[in-house]
Amino acid sequence: MDIYAGGILGLLILIADIWAILNIAQSRVETVNKLIWIVLILALPIIGLIIWWLAGPREGRA
């Protein structure tokens, strides 16, 4: 049972990371900043996603 729960959790994290990377790629920030955010998310999937969620570039900010 634990293997299935871990697999589902891993799949959810993978989906969230892909969603974040797509949002980063479509953002209007500089290419270097995009690359830094993408590398952070790929290197630290859970922590990178949380950091991006809290501190990442937002389109709606003025």
End-to-end, the C-alpha distance of the chain in Å comes to: 47
Do 21 and 36 form a contact (C-beta atoms < 8 A)? no
Residue 57: which pLDDT band, with cuts at 50, 70 and 90? confident
pLDDT higher at 52 or 59:
52
Q: Is 35 helix (H, G, I), strand (E, B) or coil?
A: helix
With b for 16 or more beta-carbon neighbours within 10 A and e for fewer, the 6-34 pattern comes to eeeeeeeeeebbeebbeebeeeeeeeeeb
**What pTM did the predictor assign?**
0.80
At 19-47, the pLDDT tens digits run 999 999 999 999 999 999 999 999 999 99
Q: At 17, which amino acid appears? A: D
**For residue 1, what pLDDT is reported?**
53
